[in-house]
Amino acid sequence: MARIAVVGAGLAGLACAQSLRDAGNVVRGFEKSRGAGGRMATRRTDHGTYDHGAQYFTVRAPAFRAAVERWLAHGVIAPYAGRIVNLQDGVTSTLSHPGQRYVATPAMPAVCRALAADMDIDFECQITAVTPGEQGWRLSWEEGGESGFDAVVLAIPAAQALPLCTAVPELAAQVSQGGHAPCWAAMVRYEAPLPLEFDAAFVADSMIGWVMRDGSRPGRAAGERWVLHANAEWSKAHLEDGAETVAPLLIEAFHAAAGIRAEPVESRAHRWRFALSGGLNAGSFWDAGRRIGVCGDWCADGRIEGAYLSGTGLAARLISTI
Is residue 82 a contact residue for a copy of itself (CB under 8 A)?
Answer: no
CB of 281 to a copy of itself, least distance (A): 5
Question: Of 28-36, 149-157, 235-243, 304-312, which part binds a copy of itself (CB under 8 A)?
Answer: 304-312
Q: Which of 60, 70, 74, 236 binds a copy of itself (CB under 8 A)?
A: 60
Q: How many CA atoms lie within 13 A of 224 on its CB side?
A: 14
Is residue 320 a contact residue for a copy of itself (CB under 8 A)?
Answer: yes
CB of 18 to a copy of itself, least distance (A): 17
Output 237 or 288, the one with its CB closest to a copy of itself.
288
Q: Which of 23, 119, 125, 282 binds a copy of itself (CB under 8 A)?
A: 282
3-state secondary structure labels for all residues of 260-272: CCCCCCEEEEEEE
Q: Exposure string (b/e) for 134-158, b if CB count within 10 Å is 16 or more?
A: eebbbbebeeeebeebbbbbbbbbb
Task: Say which residues have a Cβ less than 8 Å from residue 274's Cβ, sequence separation at least 6.
Answer: 39, 157, 158, 159, 160, 180, 182
Output 14 or 309, the one with its CB closest to a copy of itself.
309
Question: Of 30-38, 117-125, 247-255, 296-304, which part binds a copy of itself (CB under 8 A)?
Answer: 296-304
Alpha helices in the chain (DSSP H): 11-22, 62-73, 110-116, 158-161, 169-175, 232-237, 243-258, 304-321
Is residue 302 a contact residue for a copy of itself (CB under 8 A)?
Answer: yes
Output 199 or 301, the one with its CB closest to a copy of itself.
301
Q: Which of 23, 204, 256, 319 binds a copy of itself (CB under 8 A)?
A: 204
Task: Say which residues have a Cβ less than 8 Å from residue 286's Cβ, sequence separation at least 6.
Answer: 292, 293, 294, 314, 317, 318, 321
Task: Say which residues have a Cβ less than 8 Å from residue 143's Cβ, sequence separation at least 6.
Answer: none
Q: Which residues bind a copy of itself (CB under 8 A)?
A: 60-64, 86, 88, 91, 93-97, 177, 202-205, 209, 278-284, 288, 300-302, 305-306, 309-310, 313, 320-321
